[in-house]
Amino acid sequence: MLFRRIWRRLDYVLLCTVLLVIAFSLITIASATHITTPKNVGEESQLLFGILNLDAMSFVIKQLIWTLMGLIIMLAVIFFSYEDWPKYARALYIFNVLMLMAVIFIGKTALGAQRWIAVGPFVLQPSEFAKIIIIVTFANFLANREGKLNTIKDFIPAFAFIGFPMLLILMQPDLGTSLVFMAIMFGMMFMAGANPKLLGGIIGGGGLVGFGWLYAYFKNPGKVWIPLHDYQVDRLTIFMDPYRDPLGDGYHIIQSQIAIGSGGLFGKGIFNGSQNQLNFLPEQHTDFIFSVVGEEFGFVGTVLVLALFFIIVYRGIFIASQAKDTFGTLLAAGVVSMMVFHILVNVGMTVGIMPVTGLPLPFFSYGGSSMITNMIAIGILQNVYSRRKKLVF
């Protein structure tokens, strides 16, 4: 009975839009992981492989499985009222810290980073789930301080609350997710009524300090210390001039720009993108999947994808405005802040106007942890929206 009443109050515009994005992503992943026909197969097998490459489809099948798992978890998140979550906030925060610390000691290393934990046959990225936990726990933290975020002294506890888990993520190292934490923090603090001038001043001042630090680092090589690895510094700056190292750090950006630019108005067609199909485009099914959209579906395809994301963000903002309490508003604000940052950075890095940080495109990039995290985020929005008014029995 309760579930039926909740089901009637869901935001179906949001749900259907998310499903459309996922459907588009599965088609794009199929193309991004498409490989040539294996040798030594019969004529009938060649025809089969030409239409549907079974090896390549394994990525699509895995992503579909992760999506179904995400939908099930999303339904579970919707069912348990968000109003009861504050009582578990402290335990969740401690669990989050322990989970991130575990990565340092028992995590798997890949591509120069130690970010993953093997759980049976699955490999999970705890920092993805940490985003959701920090949204829930920080929403509770700020809800108890509504109207009390007016001075630097008031801001310090909030910075410390976010800073400790963010430091653990930086140690992996995972600069991209650390920046997501900052976006979540500032977005939620703004919605919690933090002094906007002070908040803007801190963001602007922090940006100037960061640029100044990088400038001093490059002007005095070897003399100025910076809390980043060399490859992270290169990623943060190479987008300004990728041809400075066209076969190294700038390669990703250059190939991505070529792919998107060659797509034209309507694109080259699915499975027909040369940069994608010939593997010139790196990480085409994960970080640079938007480049595949640009090459094979053209300007029209990219506008469609961005329009769908706009609807998701708009519905998230609407849900935040309709929430019946501060905690619900902050939950929705945290989810929107996370998604907006992911979208802006991922799309921005593919066109060469943002640093390459390795952030996936929500619901679009291949990856189980990311998909489940984003489905939980949608579950949070639906939970808040379905309870915007008291359920009557």
DSSP for 111-152 reads: TTEEEEEEETTEEE-HHHHHHHHHHHHHHHHHHTTTT---SH
| Cβ–Cβ < 8 Å for 162, 194 | no
Q: What is the dihedral of CA 378, 382, 385, 389, to 10 degrees?
A: -160
Three-state SS letters, 320-377: HHHCCCHHHHHHHHHHHHHHHHHHHHHHHHHHCCCCCCCCCCCCCCCCHHHHHHHHHH
Cis geometry, peptide bond prior to residue 173 (ω within 30 degrees of 0): yes
- For 116, 263, 298, the CA distances from 279, given in Å and listed in that order, are 26, 16, 18
Backbone angles phi, psi at 84, to 5 degrees: -90, -10
Looking at residue 122, what is its pLDDT? Answer: 64
Domain boundaries, the chain: 2-84+173-386
pLDDT tens across the length of the chain (393 residues): 566 777 788 999 999 999 999 999 999 999 888 764 344 434 333 333 344 444 557 889 999 999 999 999 999 999 999 999 999 999 999 999 998 888 877 766 655 555 667 666 666 788 889 999 999 999 999 998 887 889 999 999 999 999 999 998 888 777 888 899 999 999 999 999 999 999 999 989 988 888 888 778 777 777 777 777 776 777 777 877 788 777 777 888 888 898 898 888 999 988 888 787 777 788 888 889 999 999 999 999 999 999 999 999 999 999 999 999 999 999 999 999 999 999 999 999 999 888 888 789 999 999 888 999 999 999 999 999 998 865 444
Count of CB atoms within 10 A of residue 2's CB? 10
Looking at residue 2, what is its pLDDT? Answer: 62
DSSP for 200-255 reads: HHHHHHHHHHHHHHHHHHHHSTTTS--SS-HHHHHHHHHTT-GGGSTTTTTHHHHH
Closest Cα partner for 59 from 27, 18, 21, 17? 27
Q: What is the DSSP letter of 272?
A: -
AA identity, residue 382: Q
Q: What is the DSSP letter of 36?
A: P
Looking at residue 286, what is its pLDDT? Answer: 86
Three-state DSSP class for 109?
Answer: strand
**Dist CA 215 CA 25 (whole Å):** 39
AA identity, residue 310: F
Three-state DSSP class for 10?
Answer: coil
Which residues contact residue 168 at a Cβ distance below 8 angstroms, ignoring those fewer than 6 apart?
97, 100, 101, 103, 104
**Dist CA 323 CA 139 (whole Å):** 13
Q: How far is CA 56 from the centre of its chain?
A: 24
Vertex 336, ends 330 and 98: CA angle to 5°? 70
Backbone angles phi, psi at 42, to 5 degrees: -70, 175
Looking at residue 219, what is its pLDDT? Answer: 77
**Dist CA 349 CA 4 (whole Å):** 43
Which residues contact residue 155 at a Cβ distance below 8 angstroms, ignoring those fewer than 6 apart?
149, 189, 194, 198, 202
Three-state DSSP class for 108?
Answer: strand
